[in-house]
Amino acid sequence: MNDDSKETIHNLIARLYKLELEGAIERGLFSVIFKKQQEQITDINNRLKRIEENTKTGGSTMPSLRIYRLFISHAWDYNDEYYKLTNRLDEAPNFEWRNYSVPEHDPVDSDEDLKEELREQIRPVQVVVILGGMYVAHSKWIQFEIDYAKELGKPILGIKPWGSQRMPKAVQDAADEIVGWNTPTIVKAIRRLAKKKK
């Protein structure tokens, strides 16, 4: 990748971040955005590194034109499947995404605060990803995420519990599509569902 391409990517990212920050200040969410800044910087650096590695190995020099906005269900005390999925998405070739999920290190104080935080995270996404393995232990919050996603008309991708073919009925009924843990299958499903977003 040449220096002009890198500079263009950095400039676009900086402009998007500035717009997001200005909007967050208007909504009184500066602290939420500020806490995510480090995560976003790490994400940007990882993406640039993958683009450079792809170029060195003879891959395309064009970065992906579309960045998929995702919310992934998770819980602060149950993160194995969450991190397994985020790592797979990060490593997927020719797939760029942005994680709108509430970060592990940023728990909120009350149920109402958590509900509002979840609403803020789900509103801008194209696809809500529900990890079926978490539903039984965290059905209250995951059901809230499902209900709010449905209210907004967001497509829902259900991912079967790791090592299992069974999916909780509530997730099965709500999901627009259900997949296992095959990374290319997950990526294809996200792309399909993002096209359906209302």
126-157 tens-digit pLDDT? 999 998 876 555 677 888 999 999 999 999 99
| pLDDT for residue 76 | 60
Rounded Cα distance between 138 and 150, Å, is 18
Helix (H, G, I), strand (E, B) or coil at 97: strand
How large a percentage of the chain has pLDDT more than 70?
60
Q: Taking the model in full, what pTM does it have? A: 0.65
Q: Is 135 left (phi over 0), alpha (psi -120 to 50) or beta?
A: alpha
Give me the pLDDT at residue 34, please.
53
The predicted structure's pLDDT at residue 88: 94
Is the pLDDT score of 97 beyond 90? yes
